[in-house]
Amino acid sequence: MTHTHHKQPARWLINAFNSIMRRWESPTARKILSFIILVIFSLSLALIILKREGFIGFSFIPDNPFKAIELSFTLLLFFEVISLVFSLEKSVSKSMEVQLEILSLILLRSAFKEFGDFPANFSWGTIEKDVLFMFANAFGALLIFLVIILIRKYEKRLPICQSLDLMRSFIAIKKIIALILLLIFLGLIVTDVINFFMQEHTFSFFHQFYTILIFSDVFLVFVSLRYSNSYLVLFRNSGYALATVIIRLALGAPTPYNIVIGLTASVFVLGLVATYNKVYKLYNKDGTFEESNQEVK
């Protein structure tokens, strides 16, 4: 009776996660999200133009129309973060891939932001450095995009558990962690929006979220030990956690260091994925190396 009682809260959390994810990944949800972004972009652009023309005078509305693009990209990134949370249930590798996708989009947003910060009447001498930063962020995003394509080429869904029951148990734990991350994410968003409208200092959401993500990744490394004692799996999952740390460093670094650090994280993940999938079949289930000269296809 006690055993069943302990299972009920976990089952309720898992069912809640499944229900939310099913709705989020539905075609209807994608249409709604697209509509929301279009409305926010159009409305913010209209408000900025009205302020520039002198029809409204709210201080929190910016003067530069390109701020509407930055706002819309930020909203898009928020939606991508939710997708990142849900990808955690599918696989740790997929979650890592989405992290890199978000990093590339953040760099693109930074490129738009650099252009949006140009003064209305500018000379080349005043914006020369900012233009270089804009191009650096844009091409940095492109290089990370190319690395992501290579990661997808090498990525394979390889099981880490020795039985289906263990795999289901591991997925259940990941769903509960993902649900907790989703609640934290929504809390950060609400707090940031309230601070914005109260014209108080707003923290950098992505910095905060990736910091929390580091702890969840490390937690998953320790949880995975329960289901697999393979050195290969342990090294891969620990490497993914380290990659999250490197991405967090990239988010806090100024241009062009953010690009170098972000690209380093991408190449690190690529090497990790390619090596893991190459030597996976050479390892036994107990984590010991199988002596074989046969090439792994």
Examine residue 6 and state whether it is found in any structural domain, yes or no: yes
The predicted-structure confidence for 88-101, as pLDDT tens digits, reads as follows 888 888 899 999 99
Element (H, E) at 241: helix 231-252
Examine residue 70 and state whether it is found in any structural domain, yes or no: yes
Examine residue 287 and state whether it is found in any structural domain, yes or no: no
Rounded-to-integer distance, Cα 269 and Cα 271, Å: 5
Number of domains in the chain: 1
Examine residue 291 and state whether it is found in any structural domain, yes or no: no
Confidence of residue 292 (pLDDT cuts 50, 70, 90): very low
Q: How many angstroms separate the Cα of 108 from the Cα of each of 116, 242, 245?
A: 12, 24, 21
pLDDT, residue 266, reads: 97
Examine residue 296 and state whether it is found in any structural domain, yes or no: no
Task: State which residues form the domain around 70.
Answer: 2-118+128-282
Examine residue 256 and state whether it is found in any structural domain, yes or no: yes
pLDDT, residue 251, reads: 92
Element (H, E) at 93: helix 92-116
Examine residue 175 and state whether it is found in any structural domain, yes or no: yes
The predicted-structure confidence for 103-127, as pLDDT tens digits, reads as follows 999 999 998 888 777 766 666 767 7
Examine residue 289 and state whether it is found in any structural domain, yes or no: no
Identify whether the C-beta of residue 77 lies closer than 8 Å to the C-beta of residue 109: yes
| Mean of all residue pLDDT scores within the chain | 84
Q: Which residue reads 């036994």 in tokens?
A: 284
% residues pLDDT > 90 (the chain): 49
Rounded-to-integer distance, Cα 200 and Cα 11, Å: 40
